[in-house]
Amino acid sequence: MNAYNRKTLVVGVLIALAIAGVVSYFASGEPDGLEKTQEELGADQPMHEGVGSPPSIFNGYGLKGLSAGFWNNAAAGVVGSLLVLGVLLAVARILKRRPSPQAADRT
Amino acid sequence: MHIASGFLSPSVWGTMAVVSGAALAGSALVATRQLGDRKVPLMGVMGAFVFAAQMVNFPILAGTSGHLGGGFLLGILLGPSLGIVVMTSVLVVQAFVFQDGGVEALGANIFVMGIVPSLLGGAVRSLWRRRGWMTYAATFAGGAAAVLAGATLVVLFLAWSGALPAKVHLAEALGVMNSIHLFIGLVEGAVTVAVVRFVVGARREAVFEAELAAPAGEVPA
């Protein structure tokens, strides 16, 4: 990987981790706009049978079994951000493997 | 703005799963043409950033919070098709690992927070190649519009699912949802202007990689 891309990755990941791992600890715990709307309209009780969530080591944005606090929130933030990054690098690898029609025209 | 599990009827979430699935497949095909060497790391870190930013709920009004959507931002920086791919990845991780947004509601949530805002972001993307005050104004207004469009769609999905009490008029529900999301939208617009300014300033070659590489008049969609 060249220096330009390495810097994109390193600086980008550091910014994301600082926000997900540290800044998010100070986030508001109030219901978000949709939850508040559903509360106000009396529409906050699920009424259809949903599809359950798959098993996870996280219960919301915190590790299961660990009490809520700075480190628990940081764990969710760091793992989640890196997971999204990993998924996207894998997706990019798969997408790039497909020969694009334009590239085929030019060669 | 993630729709939780148990609020959408099977016909609504099924329809939206098909619609978003088709749009995602189309976006992935188009995105293969835009995935230059410099775009890949940018796309990865922008996804991580949007996940991170969504964890930061900021207070608005009394007893209410909001957080960045990010789909509009991704549409500007990555183009609409890559933006949709990235936003989908964020929403899938949130639903499957953090129980944020119902698994069956994924199609609807991808439509609301990924497809619609990314397409709107794509509409102002070219303005950022030669930015001026118009660019900032259009981005700010577009960010707010993307949030309001999403808020409106969520209420419609809930209404079609029979998830609003019979005594609540659709107009009332739209009014409550949109008046709250107007404030969230103003923050979305302002944050989007600041973040896009920063990223275009620092990584212009990555943001406009496909456009800079293509000969004049042959810009990949």
pLDDT of residue B212: 87
Residue boundaries of the structural domains of chain A: 1-25+58-107
Query: What one-letter code names the amino acid at B60?
Result: I
Residue B107: how many CA atoms within 13 Å on its side-chain side? Answer: 20
ipTM exceeding the 0.85 mark: yes
Contact A88 B43 (CB under 8 A): yes
Contact B163 A87 (CB under 8 A): no
Would you say residue A44 has pLDDT above 80? yes
Q: What is the pLDDT of residues B145-159, one digit of tens each?
A: 999 999 999 999 999
Nearest-CA distance from B168 to chain A in Å? 7
Q: Answer yes or no: are the C-beta atoms of B127 and B138 closer than 8 Å.
A: yes
Nearest-CA distance from B123 to chain A in Å? 23
Nearest-CA distance from B199 to chain A in Å? 10
Q: Choose the CATH number for B10-209 among 3.30.70.520, 1.10.1760.20, 3.10.20.30, 3.40.1010.10.
A: 1.10.1760.20
Q: Chain A to chain B, count of Cβ pairs less than 8 Å apart? A: 235
Would you say residue A23 has pLDDT above 50? yes
Prediction pTM value = 0.94
Confidence of residue A10 (pLDDT cuts 50, 70, 90): very high
Distance from C-alpha of B44 to C-alpha of B49, rounded to nearest angstrom: 9
Cβ-based contacts of B176 with chain A (< 8 Å): 37, 40-41
pLDDT of residue B178: 97
Distance from C-alpha of B10 to C-alpha of B194, rounded to nearest angstrom: 39
**B50, B104, B220 ranked by CB distance to A50: nearest:** B104
From the DSSP assignment, how many helices (H) and strands (E) are in chain A?
4, 0
Confidence of residue A106 (pLDDT cuts 50, 70, 90): very low
Name the more confident of B213 and B14: B14
Q: What is the pLDDT of residues A48-101, one digit of tens each?
A: 988 888 999 999 999 998 888 999 999 999 999 999 999 999 999 999 876 555
Cβ-based contacts of B100 with chain A (< 8 Å): 60-61
Mean pLDDT, to the nearest integer, of B73-96? 98
Tokens found for residue A95:
């997408």
Residue boundaries of the structural domains of chain B: 10-209
Would you say residue B45 has pLDDT above 90? yes
> Among all residues of chain A, which has the CA nearest to that of B174?
A37
